[in-house]
Structure 1
Amino acid sequence: MLLSKLEGSRDCRHPCRVSLWAMSHLPQPRLGYERRIHEMLFPNIEFDWAAYCSAGGLDVDAPHRDDKWCNAKGDVQAFWSHAHRHRGIFVTSDKNFHAASKKPRLIALASGALEAPETVLSLVARQS
């Protein structure tokens, strides 16, 4: 099966190496927005993989991507997806999103809410 061949891929730039054209976004408009989110969340991590490698003395073509950069990229893309689709509440326990210097700016950018899981659970419990 195709998916079984994809398991174990550690390349976070292309985690599954599969694209669904109908579900894709053209990169240029997205990158400006993605870069703004990245700069809010990770001002000390380079946005581009090549720049990150250059700054850290890493091999840009290494088969294993750096976990720190991949985690940052994943966080940015998760929030970008939330904001792009105009979702109501972004739920995360990641303290980086909840930092006093970042949370208000992220909320303003996404026009929604950013809450911890326990807060959302209490909101849902009150509505039930």
Structure 2
Amino acid sequence: MTEMKDYSSRISDPNSRRLGTFSYLPPMDAEALRKQINYIVERGWTPAIEHTEPSHATGHYWYMWKLPMFGETDIERVLDEIEACRAANPGHHIRLIGYDNIAQTQGTSMVVHRAPINV
């Protein structure tokens, strides 16, 4: 077994904070994001986009960007909405959620844009 890596995340260092499981991995490129969106729509989950200021990112409440994209299966439309949210909120973190309407919970959630943090 390989040795576990400690991630030195501290409240005092906003740039060290992690925002969910995917944030421990290298940033996703466009193709990886496309695959994650495909994973969401293939399962019939509802894509939704949320955003918040970096100073509030560890809270439970993020702002909803428009309504969830009920029934959306077009990956390009989801990508376009992520970009529209980013353009409208350039200083915010943005996350993509896949709502599982059968289990009535989030099937997945990942930060797809991490804004620079001004300390």
TM-score by length of 1: 0.28
Point out which structure has higher relative CO (alpha carbons under 8 A, 6+ apart): 2
| Greater helix fraction, Structure 1 or Structure 2 | 1
TM-score by length of 2: 0.29
| Greater strand fraction, Structure 1 or Structure 2 | 2
Larger Rg: 1
